[in-house]
Amino acid sequence: MHCFLIFVLIAVPLVRAYMSPYYWIPTSGDRIHTQAWKGGVSSDNKTFYVCMAPYKNDVIPGMIIPSEGCCRFAYFNQDHHNSICQHEYVLLVAESQTVLKWIKEEGDRLPPGAIVAGVAPTR
């Protein structure tokens, strides 16, 4: 049995409920939109952004460090040293850096406002 710790990205509610405070845009390589949401800082102190990329029959969430020019993600049992690098991807863009935040989730239920970042057919 495998145990995973999941961090979930939550959209902070806004007064303007009719407009989403975030969206995904297609891009490639090191092209980062000016309003791309900064997901954090890597272990080597580089800002990374949140992305999704197609791989096999799935769409996998990942991270992009602009100098690497690709959306990087682990697939099944791969660790980050053997991660997949996709040059065509979608990038998470937000109207402000404060409309999204990471929260720790330790159950199997997603909290309200969680962002769908990936799709995998039932295996």
Torsion of CA 15, 98, 27, 46, to 10 degrees: 180
In angstroms, the CA 14 to CA 99 distance is: 8
The residues, any chain, with a CB within 8 Å of residue 106's CB and separated by 6 or more, are 5, 6
Question: Do the Cβ atoms of 115 and 101 come closer than 8 Å?
Answer: no
Higher pLDDT, 77 or 7: 77
What confidence tens digit (pLDDT) does each residue in 13-61 have?
444 444 678 899 999 999 999 999 999 998 899 999 999 999 988 899 9
In a domain, 51, yes or no: yes
In a domain, 117, yes or no: no
Domain count, the chain: 1
Confidence (pLDDT) at 2: 37
In a domain, 57, yes or no: yes
* Helix (H), strand (E), coil (C) string for 80-107: HHHCEEECEEEEEEECCCCCEEEEEECC
Percent of the chain with pLDDT over 90: 43
Residue 97: pLDDT above 90? no
Q: Quote the radius of gyration of the chain (alpha carbons, Å).
A: 15
Confidence (pLDDT) at 13: 44
Q: Which residue has the tokens 């806004």?
A: 14
In a domain, 122, yes or no: no
Domain that holds residue 37: 6-105
User: How many residues can be counted in the chain?
Assistant: 123
In a domain, 114, yes or no: no
Q: DSSP letter at 34?
A: T
In a domain, 118, yes or no: no
Confidence (pLDDT) at 83: 86
In angstroms, the CA 31 to CA 109 distance is: 34
In a domain, 115, yes or no: no
Residue 106: pLDDT above 60? yes
Question: Do the Cβ atoms of 86 and 71 come closer than 8 Å?
Answer: yes
Confidence band, pLDDT 50/70/90 cuts, at residue 80: low
In a domain, 75, yes or no: yes
